[in-house]
Amino acid sequence: MTDLKYWWEKSFSWDDYKEMIQSLLDEGKTTGEVQSEEMYHYGKMNWQRSKRIEKTFKVDEPLDELLRSDAVQPMKVIVITEGWCGDAAQSGPVMAELARLYPDKIEIKVILRDTDTALIDQFLTNGGRSIPKFIFLDRDFKLLGDWGPRPQEVQALYMKMREQELPYSEISEEVQKWYAKDKTHSVQQELADLIKTF
């Protein structure tokens, strides 16, 4: 396992991430080396989703109680993401809002997956570099656990559609419908379950 303090120090703030995304979109771009009209479209659409979640986010009671309790130690979270990622647009803002609402418990930083893949390669999902990934660290930068790229229910749906070899656009549409219906409850529940194990 690479020195996670190194990755924390190499990461940047959520506010800087938001500024970078907006600046890229203003130039007709998104994050990453692959730039195309399609990637820009994904970036723009997912930025709108991300902003909507930030604006409408409400903490579910069990997670609120947990993060207010003395049982939870302060933690640092590295969010591995990219601006074009539909799953990251749904759960990244959840983690950002939790850090904003519980600053004594959660501090987050962001790193782009494709800037340096050495970190994501330690947290693969089924052998792939799926994002987002939330890497939870204690105050001494020791690994507590990780979460991602998506809640278990929608991950199962995603895998089923992949097995059926459906077109990516169709899979993406179904996944986004699931997120819209779920309203971040599954992400919050799974984060609460994970944090309880630290």
Whose structure tokens read 């902003």?
51
Provide the token pair at 149.
């790229």
pTM: 0.95
> From CA 173, how far away is CA 20, in angstroms rounded?
26
Maximum alpha-carbon separation in the chain: 48
Mean pLDDT, 10 residues at a time, over the chain (198 residues)? 90 97 97 93 95 96 97 97 96 98 98 96 96 97 97 96 92 95 98 97
CA distances from 165 to 18, 39, 103 (A): 34, 21, 43
| Nearest one of 184, 92, 106, 91 to 144, comparing CA atoms | 106
| Nearest one of 161, 170, 82, 89 to 129, comparing CA atoms | 82
Which domains, and CATH codes, for the chain? Answer: 4-196 (3.40.30.10)
> From CA 145, how far away is CA 177, in angstroms rounded?
28
Provide the token pair at 55.
């604006």
Residue-level pLDDT at 63: 98
Residue-level pLDDT at 192: 98
Residue-level pLDDT at 1: 62
